[in-house]
């Protein structure tokens, strides 16, 4: 009886659905249902949003903060977004406002946000020996920005192994150094927190009073370990896997790895040289330091804007030329498939290659004796213009809501979009509207503008025809 009723109900439902389809109502239902049965980009967006909201709720708990009064939800939402999107911008000092429990909650969000929640979910599935579905593999492909799902589970295993190995090594080195300045238990806590934060390019620190690593400006151990963690986290796990496999004489570095390694090296060296020259005589930054410490600080501040958010000098005392140059470094960011943000080093390389090819009158863009497909160039141009437009729009809005200098606002917005975490002192004084804008920028920067576009926009439809070719004058 119930089975008959169920079949009848299904038949009636199908007829009603067809009727609604004819009137356009069923199309609306399918669109709403599509938000639940989501495409890979939508899964990433919803997943990160769920982590942010969960983290913000936990930070509201009395055990998470040191004050008697509960923090405002907008502040915990800001902190949770900054941690999950591995940015590092803070409205409350991490070392003094949050308890040890609160700091571990922030660290957990940094780890999940840096490696990606799908990576962590896949890890649990592997441990429980559960089969990874095709849809989950497609989401992982989107998360790691891969061109296919082939070998995606092997990549996840490598990601987890490499990340934990590097973080553990960094934690041991940091702990051994901090032991000279604090008790062993506190040194371990500081070592683990900063190793995880810096490898994930988050930029959170628990030194207290917003001072970051300024008291270690001349310390070679702290600076070198910090730079290594930031660079390794910013190269991308595909490049790390390539570097590990290079020990096999039959394996060679891929074009992607060659581009990432070369552009990363160029940006670090050029960035250090520019900062060293501009700040050499600045009494508020490099001026009072010995020559060796000047070089060390210049390299640290060249690496940090590549989405890490660590500073060993007072950023508010930088010259405007240096501040603007750091905006450029933050906009470029790290590399694809890494824990960092920005438009990515490969995107910047493709654009530079296109400019050089045009100047030389060449039709093809050649990198390391490999021709770059026009589709890659078009995507690089799209990502750059999209990112540039978002940064400009957010800067214009904040220029009306915040009482601050234009360069300081541009610096803050670019830092949020590049998931960097550096600030010239504006973050703690943001209005409610300003905090919301920066939260949105951090979210866009972590997921990428194209991912959000694919997630929120209509599905790509097959083009049935092409229009006639036209010509316009360029330049």
The string of pLDDT tens digits covering residues 17-53 is 444 344 444 343 344 334 444 566 677 778 788 889 9
Of 259 and 126, the one with more pLDDT = 259
How sure is the predictor about 341, in pLDDT bands with cuts at 50, 70 and 90? confident
Answer whether residue 14 shows pLDDT above 80: no
Which of 139-148, 278-287, 333-342, 419-428 is the least confident region? Answer: 139-148
Confidence of residue 307 (pLDDT cuts 50, 70, 90): confident
Whole-model pTM over 0.85 = no
Residue 205, φ and ψ in degrees, nearest 5: -140, 160
Checking if the pLDDT of 169 tops 70, the result is: yes
Q: What pLDDT score does 159 carry?
A: 80
Q: How many domains does the chain have?
A: 1
The confidence band for 450, taking pLDDT boundaries of 50, 70 and 90, is: low
Element (H, E) at 370: strand 370-372
Non-local CB neighbours of 46 within 8 Å, separated by 6+ positions: 38
- The answer to whether position 463 is within a domain reads no
CA 132 – CA 455 distance, rounded (Å): 22
Residue 17 lies in a domain: no
Q: Of all residues in the chain, what percent carry a pLDDT higher than 70?
A: 78
**Residue range(s) defining the domain that contains residue 212:** 34-456
Task: For residues 422 and 416, give the distance between their C-alpha atoms in angstroms, rounded to a whole number.
Answer: 8
In whole angstroms, what is the distance from residue 285 CA to residue 341 CA? 26
Is residue 9 a part of any domain in this protein?
no
448 found inside a domain: yes
Strand partners, 98: 65
Q: Residue 306 to residues 35, 38, 236: CA-CA distances in angstroms?
A: 34, 32, 13
Residue 107 has pLDDT above 50, yes or no: yes
Give the position of tokens 């690593």.
213
For residue 20, tell me if it sits in a domain: no
Report pLDDT for 464.
Answer: 66
pLDDT confidence band for 439 (50 / 70 / 90): very high
Segment 437-463 shows an average pLDDT of 70
Q: What is the pLDDT of residue 120?
A: 65
pLDDT reading at 365 higher than 70: yes
Distance from chain centroid for Cα 191:
22
- Residue 106 resides in a domain: yes
Domain-located, residue 464: no
Instruction: Tell me the CA distances in angstroms from 101 to 80, 96, 106, 107, one per residue in order.
Output: 14, 12, 9, 10
Burial of 99 (0-12, 13-18, 19+ CB in 10 A): middle
Beta carbons within 8 Å of 139's beta carbon, 6+ residues apart: 40, 43, 44, 118
The burial class, CB within 10 Å (0-12 / 13-18 / 19+), for 59 is buried
- Would you say residue 91 lies in a domain? yes
Give the pLDDT of residue 468.
72
pLDDT for position 453: 52
Residue 129: what pLDDT? 63
Residue 472 CA to chain centroid, in angstroms?
38
| The Cα angle at residue 53 between residues 50 and 58, in degrees rounded to 5 | 125
């Amino acid at each position: 009886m119930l089975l008959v009723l169920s079949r009848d109900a299904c038949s009636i439902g199908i007829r009603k659905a067809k009727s609604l389809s004819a009137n356009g109502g069923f199309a609306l239902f399918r669109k709403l249902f599509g938000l639940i049965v989501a495409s890979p980009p939508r899964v990433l967006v919803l997943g990160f949003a769920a982590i942010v909201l969960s983290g913000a709720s936990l930070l509201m708990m009395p055990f998470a903060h040191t004050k008697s009064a509960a923090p405002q939800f907008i502040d915990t939402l800001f902190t949770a977004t900054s941690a999950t999107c591995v940015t590092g911008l803070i409205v409350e000092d991490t070392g003094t406002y949050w308890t040890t429990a609160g700091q571990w909650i922030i660290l957990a969000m940094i780890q999940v946000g840096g490696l990606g929640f799908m990576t962590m979910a896949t890890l649990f599935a592997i441990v429980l020996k559960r089969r990874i579905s095709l849809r989950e593999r497609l989401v992982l492909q989107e998360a790691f920005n891969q061109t296919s799902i082939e070998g995606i589970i092997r990549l996840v295993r490598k990601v987890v192994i490499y990340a934990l190995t590097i973080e553990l090594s960094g934690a041991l080195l940091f702990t051994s150094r901090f032991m000279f300045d604090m008790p062993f238990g506190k040194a371990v806590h500081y070592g683990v927190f900063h190793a995880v934060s810096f490898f994930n390019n988050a930029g959170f620190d628990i030194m207290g009073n917003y001072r970051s690593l300024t008291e270690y400006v001349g310390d070679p151990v702290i600076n070198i370990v910090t730079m290594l963690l930031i660079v390794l986290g910013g190269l991308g796990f595909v490049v790390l896997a390539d570097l590990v496999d290079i020990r096999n004489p039959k394996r060679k570095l891929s074009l992607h790895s060659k581009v990432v390694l070369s552009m990363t090296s160029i940006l670090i060296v050029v960035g250090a040289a520019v900062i060293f020259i501009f700040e050499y005589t600045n009494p508020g930054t490099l001026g009072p330091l010995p020559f060796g410490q000047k070089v060390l600080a210049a390299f640290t501040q060249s690496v940090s804007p590549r989405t890490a958010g660590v500073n060993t000098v007072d950023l508010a005392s930088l010259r405007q030329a240096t501040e603007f140059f750091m905006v450029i470094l933050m906009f470029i960011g790290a590399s694809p498939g890494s824990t960092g943000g920005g438009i990515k080093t490969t995107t910047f390389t493709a654009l530079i290659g296109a400019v050089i090819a045009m100047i030389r009158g060449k039709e093809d863009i050649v990198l390391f004796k490999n021709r770059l497909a026009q589709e890659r160039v078009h995507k690089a141009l799209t990502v750059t213009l999209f990112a540039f437009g978002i940064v400009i729009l957010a800067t214009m809005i904040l220029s009306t809501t915040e009482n601050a200098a234009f360069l300081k606002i541009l610096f803050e917005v670019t830092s949020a979009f590049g998931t960097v975490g550096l600030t010239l002192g504006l973050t703690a004084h943001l209005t409610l509207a300003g905090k919301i804008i920066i939260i949105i920028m951090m979210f866009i920067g972590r997921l990428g503008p194209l991912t959000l576009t694919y997630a929120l926009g209509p599905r790509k439809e097959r083009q049935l025809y092409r229009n006639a070719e036209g010509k316009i004058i360029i330049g």
